[in-house]
Amino acid sequence: MNKNKNKISPDELSEDRAVREIMEKMAAGDLKEIETAFDRAQTMKCCPIGSGISGICCKNCAMGPCRVREDRTGLCGATMGTIAARNLARHIAAGASAHSDHGRDLAHLLGLVAEGKAPGFKINDELKLLKLAKNLGISIDDRDTKEIAKETSKKALSLFGQQLGEIDLIKLAPKKRQEVWRKNNVVPRGIDREIVETMHRTHMGVDQDAEHILDHTIRTALSDGWGGSMVATEITDILFRTPQAVPAKTNLGMLDNDKVNLVIHGHEPTLSELIVELSNDEEIIEYAKSKGAQGINIVGICCTANEVLMRQGVSPIGNFLSQEIAMMTGAIELMVVDIQCIMQALGELSKRFHTKLITTSAKCKIPGATHMEFKDNNGIELAREIITMAIDNFKNRKEVFIPNITDDLVAGFSHEYIRYALGGKFRESFRPLNDAIIDGRIQGVVAIVGCNNARVPHDKYHNFLTRELIKRDYLVVLTGCAAISTAKCGLMKPEALKYAGEGLRSICEAVGIPPILHMGSCVDNSRILTVLSEVVSEGGLGEDISDLPVAGIAPEWMSEKALSIGTYFVASGVYTIFSGEPIPVESSQEVKGIITKKWEEKFGGKLEYVSDINEVLNKVIGHIQAKRKALKIDVKKERVLFDMEARRGMENV
Amino acid sequence: MSKIIATSAIKGSYKILKRAEKSLKECIKKHGQDQKIEFPNTGYYLPVIYSMTGIKVEKLSDAAGVLEEAKKLLPSVPSGKVWIPYLGGALDAGIATLWAEEIIEAIKYIDGPLPNNGIWLGAATDVILRERGIEFVDGSAPGFAACVGACKENKTAVKVARELQGKNIYVFMSASTDGKSMAEQLVEEGVELGWGTRLVPYGKDITATVYAAGFAARVALSFGGVQPGDFRKMLLYNKDRVFAFVLALGEVDEEKYANAAGAINFGFPTIADTQIPEILPRGVCTYEHVVSNISDDEIVSKAIEIRGLKVTIDKVDVPVAFGPAFEGERVRKENTYVEFGGNKSEAVEFLSMAGSSEVEDGKIEVFGPEVDDVKEVGSALPLGIFVQVYGRKMEEDFEPVMERQIHYFLNYPSGVFHMGQRDIPWLRFSKDAVKSGFKIKHIGTVLHAKMHSQFANIMDKVQIKIYTNPEDVIALKKKAREVFKARDERLGALTDESVDTFYSCTLCQSFAPNHVCAVSPERPGLCGAYNWLDCKASYEINPTGPNQPIKKSETLDENLGVWKGINDFVYKASHQTLESFSAYSMIINPMTSCGCFEVIVTILPSINGVMAVNREYPGMTPSGMKFSTMAGMVGGGIQTPGFIGISKFFIGSKKFIKADGGLKRLAWMPKELKEEIRDLLEARAKEMGIEDFLDKVATEEEAETEEEVLEWIQKVNHPVLKMEPMI
């Protein structure tokens, strides 16, 4: 038991009222001795050298770990800049590998579905399949869908092992952007190749020029955003349908006192989709009733939640920092996890409650959890087994405390759906968005993405920035834990337009959207890239993503994936700010100079750490206003009236 | 708040679809699902449906299929709380509404009440579409106002209609407010309705609003080269090029909202005279989508601004309304105060250039009786109009060009009717016009003002003498006839070989962006409105305008009529879509068409010859297609070997499909066309040494199918039988 426990009040630790209620209950009751990430963050401070604040740590060979400062190199002579660059490169390679490996599994699954070897799964969005096939250079003609799917799977998988040339999907970026990449020699040749090369280059005694290392890091990140992540998003849509607007509810109040609560947690939608589907099965519901429950309640945490929220409207009960808290309600019969952002602490914690923790990915085992491996062909049986196990566990429930806190939201904003929402089936386009930006009703678009971090007040930065930005007519798009954060505080329902400035509000009213748009899980940040490209090609806002009045923020970041996302945003021309905990290169002026000034010169975007959240806000606004000025849309334009002569001079439509 | 609009529109679309379902069900019950369903005399089926889906609704069962699709478009009504985005769904519901309305209206043609009854006109035929479509192309009509409902008072309706007419905008009227329609209000006030006056009463039912959308859809198909089924292109074409808008007059009910949602898909905004919610952000329309609570005084100018339109109109100082919208106004005999010419009296109009000292700008003299001197209402006076112009850039060649404009200009004042030209004009002044103070001298006022506005670049001064006594008129006629004869001879001597410059005409690029006409002395523009001299004058008037001189330069193929200079120009002006075209062939790289052609010529393969059909001809032709169907293939600036769109007069030209064998190939044409250009064709046949040729050309009386044409030509031994194969 830790002595310092609850020195800091729950109100300061989290903005989520449900989380606070559980914390308060913990402090008062017999769960006092339980530790969560919130507590551990107080008892253990960051390593100042490892976090890059007061030096740099290099442990890439056994002569180290070397604690390097400005006046001291490593044993091999490696400077701070080189070590900082190498460390950052490895983080980003790890982040990119996480997204891309996720994409690989989906590409593999698509092939099995086409061959009829993955029972329970099917092709749900044929149109999107054809689009992806076309983008991968596969001929469509009047070929059988299954054939096309098979080849698409094969081609998508080949992107990972490709050794030379360019990965196909970068062609979806604006022409000018592709040229920027080619000019700087950062076009990814193959997804795995760039990650492996990062590991090689950062091995002891290989690449020791910081800028050179970081250029390759750009290439690695691009292989994530325009490669692995994009493959993941596209194929997830093909298999489980492209998201459309869907109303839902969020927060711990969505746990049900009378039903079997089954939580899906992690990042993959595959098995979870089957679980959601099966939970509506009459027979299963009857079985639950026979065990004294009123039914089955599937809810989610983290990005698995986002995936099934976007497509099925399943409630996300919390984000990353809610995972331990949720278990402490005592109301969860079973938590099934797949990959990424699953705290090991859950294993021990689950023993304190009746909750069963189930790991399902061949890539992820956790001590204290039961491992029931999901293979492509056992989905239906496994889903049934897991649900049955949850139902059978209902009788073991003891004391339950579910905070009565929920909020409404509307999610489902795929780029396809945004186009539809702006013009219907027949006039779908980004034109109204571009016009709104040109007219200043929307000043710019800010993507707020990323994680929770136990060293940052839970959800606080996400919500603060979102509130302040929409108030000033900036449209905010979100993914991942940032999205769940703002949904929990009520900003993601259409009624929240009342918090928006007059201009943004007029768009919300015209279209019926909330002032912030949920675009999916963290792997779906690729959707934001697609939107940006399509906004460029719609016209009127410059010729490249770097011309657009947009910015990205990862205010509560913690995972290496966030660094990869931030870097591919920058490589795509977007100014991206990290806040909360620093990017671990803070003490190297050289590397800071490269990822800000140098990258801005080369790619039109920069990666910056800003600790003060008000400064983040000001910097983002300043940047967007400068872009508006450069586009000459900072002043209101006279309305153009057409006479016959002007009509004749019009470009062909 | 626009959620109210979306909610109402979606509810309205449910109502209209329900109506369509009921009406279709009853119709199928009565006539069976194979019953034919159509709008009269059109090749575009139910045009909104056809243009958007490519589906040809010909039988009730087809309509049932479309209605099923329409139902799928209907979203749920936005919920009170936690609503999902409604704009896209409401727009879809608008389209579903239009489809359902076309079905409802078409069923009326089967089971009644007929849409064309009483003051109501119902669906516009393709003949009307093509006649009126040209006005959209050349700018004499920038767009249309779909007026839905009725004004608060009759006099407001008249004011709005007149203001729109004055701005050359078509007024399409439908639906009603409190049992009354704007069209009925106008009729009660004695305003003349009809396509001629641009005041078009479609129908009193809300569903008749769809005719306006159907007109727009057909403009895109026939002039824009949009392929049926390419809904996106059709809608964007309208957004960018057809400057239409909806005036919601009086209370806006759910069905009207549903129609407004349909219109927004076309880029047509709604402007309401009542307090309804607004949708101000732009994007689907060019500017605002719905603007409300606009006063009667402002509604027309506000609508034009919201649609993004600029209308320039000349101020002409006459005591009656003035503008192209009054061109088609008739003056009936019983309404005539005084008339001139038309076999009732001597009449002539003549324009000639003169030295600077002879012309005093703005001088208008009337020699003889004025309208006040007319003893007997309805009687005739002689009339001689003598226009003298001086200009430093004036040329004799421009005289006939300018003279021909007299006809158009004198039709612009409301209550004045003009027909004919040269020594056969016919004018009428209505009683209303005279009562308003219109006098004979105002003929001069009109001509002076319009000549200046149209020809400012080539002309500095203009004076008009008007004679209304017989002696002066006869003397002027004699003098004029000598000049007319000399002009005809000069024009006859102009050949493609005798000049080194042709003229382009890209007037229609506002509608058909890739089309360019090359006008030569022997090949007038395909619309029949612009010959080589017109283009030459037009270039002088506006050196950066749509008519540009093109040096022929090197002749690449004399027989086909291919010149390097022309090809280069066409390549550029067609936005790199056409590399070459031949002036004298319909097989090898034929000239493209905007859609304004008077006549389509097409091959009849088994005959080894061709047929020609004019746009007024509504029937089936031996090619197996109606004019409209062919028009869809020929228009929009696309080269379609085997098809050309041309002017009527070109059939009589020596260069008419010269490379393919010339006039001798002609085996079939409608009787009406044959009679209209009989003199011309007979002269040409005589020149070719086949005097009885015209009798060998079949019309619909002799042959309706290609087989029948074959039988006919064999029977009459048509010269085509002895000709080389065409292809």
Is B125 a domain residue? yes
Contact B311 A643 (CB under 8 A): yes
Are A102 and A115 within 8 A, CB to CB?
A: no
Tokens of A578: 């990290």
The three state secondary structure string of A342-410 is: CCCHHHHHHHHCCCEEEECCCCCCCCCCEECCCCCCCHHHHHHHHHHHHHHHHHHCCCCCCCCCCEEEE
Mean pLDDT across the stretch A178-207? 97
What is the C-alpha separation between A484 and A320, in angstroms, rounded? 9
Range in B453-462, B665-674, B704-713 the model is least confident about: B453-462
| pLDDT greater than 90 at residue B241 | no
Interface test with A, best of B72, B77, B284, B547 (most A CBs within 10 A): B284
B-chain CB neighbours of A651 within 8 Å are 513
Decide if B616 touches A, using CB distance below 8 A: no
Are A216 and A195 within 8 A, CB to CB?
A: no
Tokens of A79: 């400077």
Asked: is A252-396 a CATH 3.40.50.2300 domain? The reply is no
Are A603 and A546 within 8 A, CB to CB?
A: yes
Range in A374-383, A397-406, B42-51, B633-642 the model is least confident about: B633-642
Mean pLDDT across the stretch A375-400? 96
Contacts of A499 by beta carbon, 8 Å cutoff, 6+ apart:
A467, A470, A471, A491, A515
Say yes or no: B270 and B328 in one domain: no
Decide if B135 touches A, using CB distance below 8 A: no
Is B315 a domain residue? no
Task: For this complex, say whether ipTM is above 0.90.
Answer: yes
* pLDDT of res. B638: 80
Mean pLDDT across the stretch B162-180? 93
| pLDDT greater than 60 at residue B31 | yes
Range in A185-199, A207-221, B503-517 the model is least confident about: B503-517
Contact A653 B233 (CB under 8 A): yes
Number of structural domains (chain B) is: 3
Say yes or no: B633 and B507 in one domain: yes
CA distance, residue B94 to nearest chain A CA (Å) = 10
Pairing between β-strand A550-554 and β-strand A444-448 as defined by DSSP bridges: parallel
Selected residues 495-534 of chain A with any CB under 8 Å from a CB in chain B: 495, 506-507, 509-513
In chain B, which residue's Cα lies nearest the Cα of A441?
Answer: B281
CATH code at position B654? 3.40.1470.10
- CA terminus-to-terminus distance, chain A: 71
Backbone φ and ψ for A337, nearest 5 degrees, come out as -120, 155
B-chain CB neighbours of A309 within 8 Å are none
Is B584 a domain residue? yes
* pLDDT of res. A628: 98
Say yes or no: B459 and B538 in one domain: no
A-chain CB neighbours of B305 within 8 Å are 639, 641
Is B727 a domain residue? no
* pLDDT of res. B467: 96
Decide if A164 touches B, using CB distance below 8 A: no
CA distance, residue B6 to nearest chain A CA (Å) = 9
Range in A207-221, A377-391, B465-479, B615-629 the model is least confident about: B615-629
Decide if A634 touches B, using CB distance below 8 A: no
* pLDDT of res. B541: 77
Interface test with A, best of B91, B99, B515, B517 (most A CBs within 10 A): B91
Q: Which amino acid is at A517?
A: L
Instruction: Point out the domain boundary residue: B430, B458, B487.
Output: B487
CA distance, residue B575 to nearest chain A CA (Å) = 9
Are B450 and B324 within 8 A, CB to CB?
A: no
CA–CA distances in Å: residue B389 to residues B248, B399, B420, B464: 47, 9, 21, 9
Decide if A9 touches B, using CB distance below 8 A: no
- What is the number of alpha carbons within 13 Å of residue A383 lying toward its C-beta? 23
* Distance, C-alpha A599 to centroid of its chain: 23
* pLDDT of res. B133: 78
Say yes or no: B32 and B61 in one domain: yes
Interface test with A, best of B83, B99, B454 (most A CBs within 10 A): B83
Nearest to B1 among A435, A509, A644 (CB): A509
In chain B, which residue's Cα lies nearest the Cα of A517?
Answer: B85
- What is the number of alpha carbons within 13 Å of residue A139 lying toward its C-beta? 3
DSSP 3-state assignment of B610?
A: strand
User: Which carries the bigger pLDDT value, residue A648 or residue B566?
Assistant: B566
Contact B82 A428 (CB under 8 A): no
Selected residues 117-146 of chain A with any CB under 8 Å from a CB in chain B: none
Decide if A385 touches B, using CB distance below 8 A: no
Say yes or no: B199 and B330 in one domain: no
CA–CA distances in Å: residue A258 to residues A253, A291, A328, B452, B529: 12, 11, 17, 87, 82
| pLDDT greater than 80 at residue B314 | no
Mean pLDDT across the stretch B670-677? 92
Contacts of B361 by beta carbon, 8 Å cutoff, 6+ apart:
B448, B460, B461, B462, B463
Contacts of A649 by beta carbon, 8 Å cutoff, 6+ apart:
none
* pLDDT of res. B127: 81
| pLDDT greater than 90 at residue B46 | yes
Nearest to B235 among A426, A436, A642 (CB): A426
What confidence tens digit (pLDDT) does each residue in A540-585 have?
A: 999 999 999 999 999 999 999 999 999 999 999 999 999 999 999 9
Pairing between β-strand A66-68 and β-strand A56-58 as defined by DSSP bridges: antiparallel
What is the C-alpha separation between B377 and A624, in angstroms, rounded? 75
A-chain CB neighbours of B284 within 8 Å are 422-423, 427, 431-432
Are A35 and A29 within 8 A, CB to CB?
A: no
Closest CA to A504 of A492, A515, A494: A515
Range in A72-81, A200-209, B446-455 the model is least confident about: B446-455
Band (A651; pLDDT cuts 50, 70, 90): low
Are A162 and A100 within 8 A, CB to CB?
A: no
Is B702 a domain residue? yes
Provide, rounded to the nearest whole percent, the portion of chain A with pLDDT above 90: 91
* pLDDT of res. B511: 66
CA distance, residue A637 to nearest chain B CA (Å) = 13
8-state DSSP, A524: G
Say yes or no: B96 and B214 in one domain: yes
Nearest to B85 among A408, A433, A512 (CB): A512
Closest CA to A650 of B631, B308, B164, B171: B308
Instruction: Point out the domain boundary residue: B277, B307, B337.
Output: B307
Nearest to A512 among B73, B81, B83 (CB): B83
Contact B6 A512 (CB under 8 A): yes
Q: Return the CATH class of domain A70-240.
A: mainly alpha
Say yes or no: B232 and B380 in one domain: no
The residue extents of the domains of chain A are: 70-240, 252-396
Mean pLDDT across the stretch B237-249? 94
Decide if A420 touches B, using CB distance below 8 A: yes
What confidence tens digit (pLDDT) does each residue in B184-209 have?
A: 999 999 898 999 889 999 999 999 99
A-chain CB neighbours of B638 within 8 Å are none
Say yes or no: B345 and B217 in one domain: no
| pLDDT greater than 90 at residue A159 | yes
| pLDDT greater than 50 at residue A1 | no
Band (A4; pLDDT cuts 50, 70, 90): very low
Nearest to A641 among B82, B289, B309 (CB): B309
Closest CA to A495 of A485, A505, A482, A481: A505
Tokens of B518: 């090359």
Mean pLDDT across the stretch B274-299? 93
| pLDDT greater than 90 at residue B239 | yes
Closest CA to B415 of B188, B201, B197, B200: B197
Interface test with A, best of B72, B136, B510 (most A CBs within 10 A): B510
Instruction: Write down the pTM of the prediction.
Output: 0.85
In chain A, which residue's Cα lies nearest the Cα of B545?
Answer: A645
Band (B515; pLDDT cuts 50, 70, 90): confident
Mean pLDDT across the stretch A228-256? 97
Decide if B390 touches A, using CB distance below 8 A: no
A-chain CB neighbours of B75 within 8 Å are none
What is the C-alpha separation between A590 and A212, in angstroms, rounded? 13
CA distance, residue A636 to nearest chain B CA (Å) = 14
Contacts of A579 by beta carbon, 8 Å cutoff, 6+ apart:
A461, A553, A554, A555, A556, A557, A609, A610, A611, A613, A616
- Could you tell me the residue range of the domain that residue B588 belongs to? 501-722
Selected residues 440-499 of chain A with any CB under 8 Å from a CB in chain B: 441, 493-495
Selected residues 227-266 of chain B with any CB under 8 Å from a CB in chain A: 231-233, 235-237, 240-241, 243, 265
Contact A647 B546 (CB under 8 A): no
What is the C-alpha separation between A258 and A255, in angstroms, rounded? 9
Contact B87 A421 (CB under 8 A): yes
Q: Across chain B, what does the average pLDDT equal?
A: 91
Are B279 and B2 within 8 A, CB to CB?
A: yes
Nearest to B282 among A409, A432, A647 (CB): A432
Backbone φ and ψ for B520, nearest 5 degrees, come out as -115, 165
Decide if A427 touches B, using CB distance below 8 A: yes
CATH code at position B89? 3.40.50.2030
The number of helix segments (H) and strand segments (E) in chain B equals 22, 23
Q: Between B398-409 and B470-493, two packed helices, what is the crossing angle to 10 degrees?
A: 130
Tokens of B285: 């329309």
Are A358 and A336 within 8 A, CB to CB?
A: yes
Q: Cis before residue A65, ω within 30 degrees of 0?
A: yes
What is the C-alpha separation between A121 and A327, in angstroms, rounded? 30
| pLDDT greater than 80 at residue A7 | no
Decide if B282 touches A, using CB distance below 8 A: yes
* Distance, C-alpha B312 to centroid of its chain: 19
8-state DSSP, A14: B
Are B302 and B245 within 8 A, CB to CB?
A: no
Decide if B78 touches A, using CB distance below 8 A: yes
Query: Between A and B, how many residue pairs show a Cβ–Cβ distance under 8 A?
Result: 153
Backbone φ and ψ for B332, nearest 5 degrees, come out as -75, 160
Is B493 a domain residue? no
Band (A478; pLDDT cuts 50, 70, 90): very high
Decide if A332 touches B, using CB distance below 8 A: no
What is the C-alpha separation between B70 and B471, in angstroms, rounded? 70
Q: Which amino acid is at B531?
A: N
CA distance, residue A432 to nearest chain B CA (Å) = 4
Are B134 and B596 within 8 A, CB to CB?
A: yes
Say yes or no: B611 and B526 in one domain: yes
| pLDDT greater than 60 at residue B171 | yes
CA distance, residue A74 to nearest chain B CA (Å) = 58
Say yes or no: B553 and B668 in one domain: yes
Dihedral of CA atoms B288, B294, B299, B303 in degrees, nearest 10, equals 0
* pLDDT of res. B166: 85
Band (B707; pLDDT cuts 50, 70, 90): very high
CA distance, residue B353 to nearest chain A CA (Å) = 29
What confidence tens digit (pLDDT) does each residue in B356-391 have?
A: 899 999 999 999 999 999 888 889 999 999 999 998
- What is the number of alpha carbons within 13 Å of residue A259 lying toward its C-beta? 18
Mean pLDDT across the stretch B84-89? 97
DSSP 3-state assignment of A301?
A: strand
Q: Across chain A, what does the average pLDDT equal?
A: 95
What confidence tens digit (pLDDT) does each residue in B87-130 have?
A: 999 999 999 999 999 999 999 999 989 999 999 999 998 888 87
Mean pLDDT across the stretch A239-262? 97
CATH code at position B367? 3.30.1650.10
* pLDDT of res. A279: 96
